[in-house]
Structure 1
């Protein structure tokens, strides 16, 4: 993740981030190991 990615909201098992180009992506916690919440 770039530092410019913006956390939009939290889901029970995922976090939604929005990138500067407007792309939104759901990151599931299983994919985020090593990334501090």
Structure 2
């Protein structure tokens, strides 16, 4: 969960930069969340 939190912060930062990169990041976050559960 700690690593997931760090990725969420980075995801928010990327959201302000490039939507395309954020889209890829969100997919990774979703995958990581499923792995955690």
Higher helix share: 2
Higher strand share: 1
Calculate the TM-score normalised by the size of structure 1: 0.19
Calculate the TM-score normalised by the size of structure 2: 0.19
